[in-house]
Amino acid sequence: KAKRVRTIFTSDQLARLEKEFARQQYMVGTERCLLASSLHLTEEQVKVWFQNRRIKWRKQSLEQQQAKLAKMGLAAPQRSPDSQSHHGEED
């Protein structure tokens, strides 16, 4: 299986994709086909863009939530996994 070449989207394509994402986070079927066609992209490219954009959106939402909690003083400080040992703790 040949390695896929990374798609470089034009600013117009990105603007339209972002606009559609703001309207709805999932694009399927005929709608995706029409969007791909109007942007001169394949359905696969549009599908993957939406998948990646949802991941980015979830990550941003999580970071905003953590920042809000930290501001309120409710967030636990980030600890590295090796600092979470339970030496000397009793149940």
Q: What does the pLDDT read at residue 75?
A: 55
Tracing tokens 């390695």 back to the chain, one arrives at: 3
Q: Which domains does the chain have, with CATH numbers?
A: 11-73 (1.10.10.60)
Query: pLDDT band at residue 67, thresholds of 50, 70 and 90?
Result: confident
What pLDDT digit, counting tens, does each position of 37-57 carry? 999 999 999 999 999 999 999
Cα 69–chain centre separation: 21
Instruction: Assess contact for 9 and 17: CB atoms under 8 A.
Output: yes
pTM to 2 decimal places: 0.70
Max mean pLDDT range (27-31, 33-37, 62-66): 33-37
Query: Percentage of the chain with pLDDT > 70?
Result: 80
